[in-house]
Amino acid sequence: MDDLLKDFLTETAESLAELDTALIRLEQAPDDAETLALIFRLVHTIKGTCGFLGLARLEKVAHAAENVLGRFRDGSMPVTTGAISVVLRAIDRIKTIVADLERTGSEVPGDDGDVIEALNRLLSGEQVAQPTAQTPAAPAQADRPAAQTQTAEPDTQPDQTRDVTETLAAKQTIRVGVDVLEDLMTLVSELVLTRNQLLQLSRTHENNPFTVPLQRLSHITSDLQDGVMKTRMQPIGNAWNKFPRLVRDLAHEMGKKIELSMIGAETELDRQVLELIKDPLTHMVRNSVDHGLERPEERRAAGKPETGRLVLNAFHEGGHIIIQISDDGRGLNTARIREKAVAQGLATEAEVAAMPDSEVHQFIWRAGFSTAAAVTAVSGRGVGMDVVKTNIEKIGGTIELRSVEGQGTTFTIKIPLTLAIVAALVVQAGGERFAIPQISVVELVRTGGGSDATIERINETPVLRLRDRLLPLVDLRQLLGLASEGERTADAGSGAFIIVCKVGVQVFGLIVDRVFDTEEIVVKPVAPILRHITLFSGNTILGDGSVIMILDPNGIARAVGIGTRGGGDREEIAVATAEATAESERTALLLFRAGGAEPKAVPLGLVARLEEAPAESIERANGALVMQYRGRLMPLVPIDEAFSASAMKERHPVLVFNEGERSVGLIVDEILDVVEDRLRVELAADRPGFLGTATIAGRATEVLDTGHWLRRAYPDWFMKRSAGQAEARRRVLALDDSAFFRQLLVPVLGAAGYEVTVVDSAASALKLRDRGDMFDAIVSDIEMPEMDGIAFVSEVRRGGAWASLPVIALTSRVSEADIARGHAAGFSDYVAKFDRDAVLRALEQALSVREVEAV
């Protein structure tokens, strides 16, 4: 069954269940305007959505019932018991049609003339006799299930399909309290722990008769865990819904023009995480509006559009949620930050002068640090960014900052999907085991034994030379006081295990004695007596029943001074790293194989991501290979001309290149390494797709011509874009009181290239006009509660900024009289609601005419 039809059946079944009770309530209180409005809205929604889906039979019955309810609403027809009985009979017929629709997947032909005729007789003023055997419903019956109240209607024929539709609603959706889900999640967490313990026991006994059932239990537990996790997931858009109003109000207050774009609002994450990031996100959005984006006159002077752009973007990546807050404003004032850092004693003038800009920017995370010239209601007090960083780190997340003066700033937040169960690496130090969240682990390194990675010392401080870069090292035994005197003086340079961790932009190595395996652990909070120890973020129970602590890489970095100034040895390490980088003039290169044994290389800076594409995720569209990537279809280009998707191995590495909203994936055979070397092409290439051959890591290596492969996917990839092309999407306001129809319309318009704003009433639309929002066209339903489409378009044409906009009418009433009435009111075009192609044609034509007139 089509997904749209499933959604329609779910919504309709819920509406029908509510209609029964509401009609009985109206019968008992005919003057209840609120109940009457509810009934009319429910029937109107059913009629509108079935019209869009082309369900003609269902639409006719619903339309006839809506006409009667409309007469009830405008007061031209009294609400009587006989009239309610006729409407209930129509509702029963709708239930029958919906039940057949669910059973067969399509509308079953049938004759509904008797029901429609009875409704039309009501419209003509014919009196309907009250049923002689009807028993008046007691007041308490209004709250009883619909199936019980219906038994009091002898002229309303009992219909078994009524139970079918009610069962459908119960089967599709159910409301459950959050506390019930939290308790269920706790029980599942305990079940995961018990499962791990049983599996650990079974591994210690060979030929254990419990091995097979335990494996089955493990699979069921994993499936149960996934299912419960889905019930806790909510779209991040729930945390973003207040930002349009917030940005609008701040922009007006500060005299700025700001366009807010929210991408990936449907990205889901754990409800608990969602609640914890709301405040940090709010502060960062306010900061971007106040500090980041300039006033219109400043932007004009800088050669920018008057309207600043603030973008929120969210997507899944490697089991985590990535949230980006970016603006095209003034960027961070690096010189001002240097001055403030010296003034506040955070560093000396010589130290800040030697720092790269990216390191200087890290001072903004310090408590009490602010570069604002004056304190405002929004910012300038020096509190906020340190709290943001602390709160994000509390949930096991990281935050990175990238800013270019005069161009803008981007904050990138990486947080776990959930706080309840996380993937962790189990390690050992000083005879004790610990867990490190994988979100902070970059790679594992083993020194000695012929490895290129070596441990060196600068003023007795150990550092790791990894691919010609120096990383500060932290010995976990010494940090936690687990090393003996002999171990404290021993040289860890031979055969050490090093966990390379990343905290923000800082990378450091953690020396451990042993590395076990990754494991999904259930996070338990730290006991109150240990909460002052910031090196730990919680504890967990392993499969063998032992309790271990979960390390907090952010707390470790703070404890040893990584990422802060003030430790002499740390400064020398940073200076040595900067000097090594400056003197080498080397390029980071990604080495791989594709179409042969010879290595190939591409500058690592061009590669946005390294992904692994499962065979089943690669599809064909229009003769080309594609895969779904971050909610979009990404073209795939195999470097090996003989590549065949049908013969590929289970997973293939993919190099992802992106620019703006475009992404291209290059399919290769194997990722070899990342090296830093001088990129000097010595032999020109004799085949397209390669620049030539260079000596990299001691071997002759072909250097990829990236542009050739990008043009294979997008021939216009490098074409010069006009200054306004990024904002060239035309904006459409969609107005419909049916949530279901709004959900149908937005993807249709979005796929056609329009930027869509939706509202559920004419009053909401007019509020947008009054506050100054502007659109290129409006698409409006005609039949709506309160102010209908005719009244709405008449108000629009009366004057104001929208007076000349094209307004397209969407309705199921397309008779000549209806069309004439719509044009007379001011609609530019009149389109049947269920004709998607006609909607797009009407929009394109209306916009083309307006653009010609503007010229």
Helices (H), 473-520: 476-479, 485-489
Identify the pLDDT of residue 211: 77
Tally of CB atoms within 10 A around 83:
24
Was domain 729-854 assigned CATH 3.40.50.1980? no
d(CA 433, CA 274) in angstroms, rounded, equals 31
* CATH among 3.40.47.10, 2.40.100.10, 3.40.50.360, 2.40.50.180 for 587-713: 2.40.50.180
pLDDT value at residue 452: 63
**C-alpha closest to that of 619 among 645, 581, 638, 637:** 645
587: DSSP letter: E
pLDDT higher than 50, residue 377: no
Three-state SS for 155?
A: coil
The closest of 279, 358, 357, 286 to 327, measured between CA atoms, is 286
* Whole-angstrom distance, CA of residue 119 vs CA of residue 68: 7
Residue with tokens 């509108």: 48
Average pLDDT, the chain: 76
Burial class (CB in 10 A: 0-12, 13-18, 19+), 12: buried
Token pair recorded at residue 407? 């161009």
pLDDT, greater one: 562 or 810: 810
The closest of 654, 594, 600, 592 to 626, measured between CA atoms, is: 654
- pLDDT of res. 479: 86
Residue 182 parent element (H or E) = helix 178-203
Check residue 238 and give its pLDDT.
Answer: 79
At 778, is the pLDDT very low, low, confident or very high (cuts 50, 70, 90)? very high
Whole-angstrom distance, CA of residue 568 vs CA of residue 564: 11
Residue 295 Cα distances to 290, 301, 306, 533, 676, angstroms: 10, 10, 8, 45, 43
Instruction: Specify the CATH superfamily of domain 421-584.
Output: CheA-289, Domain 4 (2.40.50.180)
Q: What is the DSSP letter of 294?
A: P
Structure tokens at 195: 């499962």
Fold category of 3-172 in CATH:
Four Helix Bundle (Hemerythrin (Met), subunit A) (1.20.120)
In this prediction, residue 150 carries a pLDDT of: 35
| Three-class secondary structure of residue 261 per DSSP | strand
Mean pLDDT of 2-7: 71
Q: CA 357 → CA 337, 401, 405, distances in Å?
A: 10, 11, 10
Nearest-angstrom CA–CA distance, 244 and 248: 6
435, 517 contact by CB (below 8 A):
no
Of 5-9, 100-104, 149-153, the one with minimum mean pLDDT is 149-153
What 3-state class would DSSP assign to 272? helix
DSSP conformation letters of 72-115: HHHTSS---HHHHHHHHHHHHHHHHHHHHHHHHSSPPP---HHH
Q: Enumerate residues 6+ apart whose C-beta is below 8 A from 658.
A: 608, 609, 664
Residue 721 banded pLDDT, cuts 50, 70, 90: very low
Please check whether the two domains, 587-713 and 729-854, share a CATH topology: no
Model pLDDT, residue 297: 92
Return the CATH superfamily for domain 236-416: Histidine kinase-like ATPase, C-terminal domain (3.30.565.10)
Confidence of residue 420 (pLDDT cuts 50, 70, 90): low
Domain boundaries, the chain: 3-172, 178-232, 236-416, 421-584, 587-713, 729-854
pLDDT (mean) for 287-316: 89
602, β-bridge pairs: 590
Q: Is the predicted pLDDT of residue 428 greater than 60, yes or no?
A: yes
How crowded is residue 330: how many other Cβ atoms within 10 Å of its Cβ? Answer: 21
pLDDT of residue 138 exceeding 50, the answer is: no
Lowest mean pLDDT among 54-63, 199-208, 648-657: 199-208
Q: What pLDDT does 174 receive?
A: 65
Number of alpha carbons in the 13 Å side-chain half-sphere of residue 168: 26
Instruction: Say yes or no to pLDDT of 707 above 60.
Output: yes
491 against 795, higher pLDDT: 795
Give the separation between CA 40 and CA 60, rounded to whole angstroms.
15
Tell which wins on pLDDT, 827 or 680: 827
Residue 735 · residue 781 · CB < 8 Å: yes
**754-783: burial string, b at 16+ Cβ within 10 Å, e else:** bbbbbbbbbeebbebbeeebebbbbbbbbb
The answer to whether 494 touches 602, Cβ cutoff 8 Å, is no
Rg over alpha carbons for the chain, rounded to the nearest Å, is 33
Residue 467, token pair as written in the block: 């691919």
> What is the tens place of the pLDDT at every residue in 824-855?
888 888 887 666 777 888 888 888 777 666 55
- Phi-psi label, residue 431: left if phi above 0, alpha if psi -120 to 50, beta otherwise: left
- pLDDT score of 565 more than 60: no
Q: How confident is the model at residue 572 (pLDDT cuts 50, 70, 90)?
A: very low
DSSP output for 38-76 = HHHHHHHHHHHHHHHTT-HHHHHHHHHHHHHHHHHHHTS
pLDDT digit string (tens) for 436-465? Answer: 888 778 888 887 665 666 777 765 677 787
Amino acid 727: pLDDT: 42
Amino acid in position 214: L
Give the count of beta carbons closer than 10 Å to the beta carbon of residue 149. 21
Decide if pLDDT at 533 tops 80.
no
What pLDDT score was predicted for residue 756?
Answer: 83
Q: What is the mean pLDDT of residues 165-187?
A: 64
The domain 178-232 is placed in CATH, from the list 3.40.50, 1.10.287, 2.70.50, 1.10.3470, at: 1.10.287
